[in-house]
Amino acid sequence: MTSTSFQKKSKAKILQIPGAKPSLYNNQLLISTGIPSLDSIIGGGVAVGTVFLLEEDAYGNYGRLMLKYFCSEAVMTGHSLHLTSADRDPQQILKELPAPIIDDPGPPPEDATNQSDEHMKIAWRYQHLPKYQSNPTSIKFGHYYDLTKTMDPELTNSIDHSTISEADLCTCSSSSISMNEKYALLLEKIKQKIDDGKFSTTTQHAQHDKRNILRIGIHSLGSPQWGENGGMKGENFDFSLSRFLYGCRALLRSAFAVMMITVQSHLFHPAFVGRLRKLCDTVIQLESFAGSEKNPACKEYHGLLKIHQLPRLNSLLCHMPDTLDLGFKLRRKKFTIEKLHLPPELSETASRPQEDPVYKKSPAGCGSTGKSKIDF
């Protein structure tokens, strides 16, 4: 429907891939993480061609949950998914994805065809426009999910998904001196997947062939199941993980792919964690309150979310969120990330410790014997 005669001069050079949108800040293609509140904090979404590192909380629950959201988003947008986990069976993770909340527009109005030709008296310029918008957007950017229900397996199977479990990693026969064997095998498989699925930016693509994005999810990389000893090999640092991440970065920069990795960073030496952060693009850490004394001011939240790094892609500056004090909460149905705020003061007595306690006035006598603060 054209209401104006204005036409854009330049051809749209931005690729139209379902589920991906160009960033508002720079000319970067972004995809959603599956959690809309997180998307808005990191600048609209995760940039295609980057590595998203999530430093897990101590028990790993929330990290796994965020990875599930990432996978669910792949299903909803039709992107290809490649999931790896050495701790758990990735097929099991795929069965536990949260179900999407789809808006049901309801039955169309029955009298749609018998629109009375009411002649508009005031807004007559809009007479020729249709009454209702006829094409609702079906593939949006960022979906909402219901954690109480699991995704229909038919829906999950409708996209191209592949998994690598621990059993597949054990059958590696390649030996490399510079990297841990399991990482080397994983890197090889990712490279193969990118080449086979034509996700690389260098492959020639016919006009009618639609481009798609590959989402790679790696759960609990660097855990003892990967043969990793907290970044140490004896007394020296083991650089396998940093080489793996660098190899991934090199692969992804020239591919239409996004990688989300969860790492248990508390297992690593802090200096090593600093290195890992530098090699990834977006780095976020979850710190849950589980098992520790809850700060009464933060009892609404289940943990803190810290942003360690945001990428600078094609620009000198990275996106700066409104605030860096962020917390996450897991409600029955959804998981959100919000700006931390104190709960409102509703009680009559002041909860601040430096307030002097107000003594009760003695009931007898009109002269006040109690030490009230407003005694004259």
Find the helix or strand (DSSP H, E) in which 334 lies.
none
Q: Which residue, 316 or 374, has its beta carbon nearer to other proteins?
A: 316
Nearer to other proteins, 97 or 184 (CB): 184
Residue 255 Cβ, how far from other proteins at the closest point, in Å?
Answer: 11
According to the binding rule CB under 8 A, does residue 242 interact with other proteins? yes
Minimum Å distance from CB 274 to other proteins? 4
Please spell the DSSP secondary structure of 262-296, one letter per residue: EE-GGGS-HHHHHHHHHHSSEEEEEEE-TTSPPPG
From the CB of 237, what's the least distance to other proteins, in Å? 7
CB nearer other proteins, residue 115 or residue 229:
229
Question: Which amino acid, one-letter code, is at 257?
Answer: A
Tell me: does residue 211 bind other proteins (CB under 8 A): no
- Asked if 270 interacts with other proteins (CB under 8 A), we say yes
**Contact status: 319 vs other proteins (CB under 8 A):** no
Q: Do β-strands 80-85 and 257-263 pair in parallel, antiparallel, or remain unpaired?
A: unpaired
Single out the residue of 34, 22, 25 nearest to residue 337, CA to CA: 34
By C-beta, is 41 or 313 nearer to other proteins?
A: 313
* CB of residue 216 to other proteins, shortest distance in Å: 15
Among 213, 273, 283, 337, binds other proteins (CB under 8 A): 273
Instruction: Using the rule CB under 8 A, give the single segment among 54-62, 79-87, 130-138, 173-181 that binds other proteins.
Output: 173-181
Round to whole Å and give the CA distance between 264 and 376.
62
Round to whole Å and give the CA distance between 238 and 228: 8
Beta-bridge partner residues of 329 = 336
Among 140, 147, 166, 191, binds other proteins (CB under 8 A): 191
Considering CB under 8 A, how many residues would be counted as binding other proteins?
39
How many angstroms separate the CA atoms of 363 and 369, rounded?
A: 10
Q: How far is the CB of 246 from other proteins (least distance, A)?
A: 6
Tokens of 2: 């054209």
- Selection from 355, 353, 358 nearest residue 368 by Cα: 358
Q: How far is CA 169 from CA 161, 205, 217, in A?
A: 18, 32, 15
Q: Does 168 bind other proteins (CB under 8 A)?
A: no
With binding defined as CB under 8 A, does residue 88 bind other proteins? no
* Contact pick of 109, 224, 274, 343 for other proteins (by CB under 8 A): 274
What are 231's two structure tokens?
Answer: 């970044």
Identify which of 200, 268, 215 has the alpha carbon closest to the alpha carbon of residue 72. 215
Per CB under 8 A, 249 contacts other proteins? yes
Q: Which stretch binds other proteins (CB under 8 A): 32-40, 71-79, 169-177, 364-372?
A: 169-177
Shorter beta-carbon distance to other proteins: residue 191 or 211: 191
Q: Is 200 in the site for other proteins (CB under 8 A)?
A: no
* Binding residues among 17-76 for other proteins as defined by CB under 8 A: 27
What would you measure as the largest C-alpha separation in the chain, in angstroms?
A: 96
Neighbours of 70 (CB within 10 A): 26
321: exposed, middle or buried (Cβ count in 10 Å: 0-12, 13-18, 19+): middle
For residues 314 and 362, which CB has a smaller minimum distance to other proteins in the complex? 314
CB 149, CB 98: distance < 8 Å: yes
Secondary structure (3-state) at 239: coil
Among 91, 203, 295, 315, the residue binding other proteins under the rule CB under 8 A is 315
Q: How far apart are CA 277 and CA 284, in angstroms?
A: 9
Q: Which of 4, 137, 171, 178 binds other proteins (CB under 8 A)?
A: 178
Binding stretches for other proteins (CB under 8 A): 27, 173-179, 184-185, 187-188, 191, 237, 239, 242-244, 246-247, 249-251, 253-254, 269-271, 273-275, 277-279, 312-316
